[in-house]
Amino acid sequence: MRPFEQRRYYVYIMSNRSKTLYVGMGNSLSRRVFQHKVGTNEGFTKKYKLDRLVYWESYGRVLSAIAREKEIKGWLRIKKIQLIVSINPTWADLSLKLYPEMEEEVRKELQRQAEEKSST
């Protein structure tokens, strides 16, 4: 990080075609989205193939981001959906515009994983 460059923290919501929701937080939105898209981490998001970034917010303080993540996680599903629809009514994958180069990287990584799996 460069001197005087402010660190950013992100609260985000990932989804899939079935509109299953996952609320997360991290300091690199692009890295976290990539990890979700390729199923890097075992668990809920991999099991349900949550590969669409449908909502995100940015914070300058980690404690603010953690508090917001906890707040949203405590909401009923309908309130989370209202939040998403307020800025993304079509549930588009926002990562496609934020990180246009990522789709090719995701495709290559998924292909590599498939080749690795077929060779074992």
Alpha helices in the chain (DSSP H): 29-38, 44-47, 62-73, 77-87, 95-98, 102-118
pLDDT at 1 over 80: no
Report the share of the chain in percent with pLDDT over 90: 72
Report the share of the chain in percent with pLDDT over 70: 95
pLDDT at 114: 83
Single pTM value for the model: 0.89
Complete domains list, the chain, with CATH: 9-118 (3.40.1440.10)
**Nearest CA to 59 among 82, 83, 25, 99?**
25
Which residue would you say has higher pLDDT here, 77 or 39?
A: 77
Tell me the pLDDT band of 66, cut-offs 50, 70 and 90: very high
Mean model confidence pLDDT for the chain: 92
pLDDT at 23: 98
Tens digit of each residue's pLDDT (9 = 90 or more) over 6-63: 899 999 999 999 999 999 999 999 999 999 999 888 899 889 999 999 999 999 999 9
Tell me the pLDDT band of 4, cut-offs 50, 70 and 90: low
